[in-house]
Amino acid sequence: MEVIKLNQLNHYGVSARFLTEAALYPEHQLARVIAQYRGKYKIITQQTEMLAEISGKLRYGTEELAQYPTVGDYVMVDVQAELAVIHQVLTRKSLFIRKAVGLSGQVQPVASNVDIVFLCMSLNQNFSLNRMERYLSIAWDSGAVPVIVLTKSDLCQDLSGAIEQVEKISCFSDVITLSMFDTDICEKFLPYFQKNQTCAFIGSSGVGKSTLINKLLGAPVIATQEIGRGDKGRHTTTGREMFPCPLGGVVIDTPGMREMGAESADLSKTFADIEELAQHCRFRDCTHTNEPGCAVLEAVKSGELDSRRLASYHKLEHETSYDGLSSKEIEVKKCERMFKEIGGMKNARRFAKEQRKRK
């Protein structure tokens, strides 16, 4: 078998796993998607960097948006004069997705083959435990290991209190705290960057992801802006792009995730405390809303469990149950939950009909 020269790919995290799978397609070349634009991709091959598009066969044979190439994917390509053609996406070891805007029931790939995902949240008005629980749930489901990054700690009035709150919901994820006065940022991130390691930064607009990545890269590679009025972030990063990092491995920058949904999430790790309490509920199918003998509700009543956390759990649980449903099916499911206390939607319709007769 011909030995594949690493060359450029060696700087972009290629590992034996993908080299082995690539050998199954000897008619094509191995490449990695390092940036994504509208309708086009930037790839790195063994020898060069170039633009690429997906083949017609791959386009028409792909039923779900999540199956399309995304930044981080290893792909098999034909290299032509000016434009490469992507024929195959190799098996992913992790995938970070979000709900596709305007496409009912579809999810959009954000980044793939990520080893470490840094979940960024600033300690100003952006601070939200509910949002971090959402990010953690989605991150665990992606297959990557989440690390929490709290930025702008110099703007926080109660830093120790905020860190304590985050550590309570972190489900054993590491927590890194940053401020604009830090001079040891690279040292704080050094343990997470290694050869062949892929790291991604996820978070809302304006939390400082691009500024942070520029510091890790040692150069102003990514455009940055000041936050807008009212402490609201601006979308600076509009695409997704991967860069080799001097600390080791590669780093992926992503756009702000204001609209990220939790259609695909792992609640068992993020809410391990609630899952553990649920083992002691009287009923196996307890919904932790109003059932007698509910250990979760008893924990809220005694102060052992924060009611905010339970509400966040319920919200994410409802969202994940909508995975794969059409918009009409989602509305039906929401109505069924709404009228559950009076015996479901059929009884609700009967009740409404009787009320109209009485008038």
pLDDT at residue 205 greater than cutoff 90? no
Q: What is the average pLDDT across 292-300? A: 91
Give me the pLDDT at residue 319, please. Answer: 73
Is the Cα torsion angle 90, 57, 45, 189 positive or negative in sign? Answer: negative
**For 99-138, what is each residue's pLDDT tens digit?**
665 555 677 788 999 999 999 999 987 788 988 988 898 8
Q: What is the average pLDDT across 333-347? A: 46
Confidence of residue 51 (pLDDT cuts 50, 70, 90): very high
Confidence of residue 224 (pLDDT cuts 50, 70, 90): low
Give me the pLDDT at residue 268, please. Answer: 72
Note whether 90 and 22 are within 8 A (CB). Answer: yes
Q: At what angle do helices 129-142 and 159-169 cross, to 10 degrees?
A: 40
Note whether 156 and 123 are within 8 A (CB). Answer: yes
Give me the pLDDT at residue 192, please. Answer: 93
Give me the pLDDT at residue 353, please. Answer: 55
pLDDT at residue 52 greater than cutoff 50? yes
Mean pLDDT of the chain: 80
Bridge-based pairing of strands 84-89 and 49-54 is: parallel
Q: What is the average pLDDT across 299-319? A: 85
More confident residue, 358 or 12: 12
Give me the pLDDT at residue 354, please. Answer: 60
CATH class of the region 267-358: mainly alpha
Q: What is the average pLDDT across 264-276? A: 76
Q: What is the average pLDDT across 157-170? A: 91
Ordered by start, the domain boundaries in the chain are: 7-91, 109-253, 267-358
Is the Cα torsion angle 241, 202, 111, 20 positive or negative in sign? Answer: positive
d(CA 70, CA 29): 17
pLDDT at residue 162 greater than cutoff 90? yes
Give me the pLDDT at residue 297, please. Answer: 92
d(CA 164, CA 84): 50
pLDDT at residue 226 greater than cutoff 90? no
Bridge-based pairing of strands 107-112 and 240-244 is: unpaired
Q: What is the average pLDDT across 63-71? A: 88
CATH code of domain 7-91: 2.40.50.140
Note whether 89 and 113 are within 8 A (CB). Answer: no
Among the ranges 5-14, 73-82, 256-265, which has the highest mean pLDDT value?
73-82
Confidence of residue 329 (pLDDT cuts 50, 70, 90): very low
d(CA 160, CA 33): 40
pLDDT at residue 21 greater than cutoff 90? yes
pLDDT at residue 2 greater than cutoff 80? no
pLDDT at residue 1 greater than cutoff 80? no
- What pTM does this model have? 0.74
DSSP state of 340: G
Percentage above 70 pLDDT, the chain:
77
Give me the pLDDT at residue 124, please. Answer: 85
CATH code of domain 109-253: 3.40.50.300
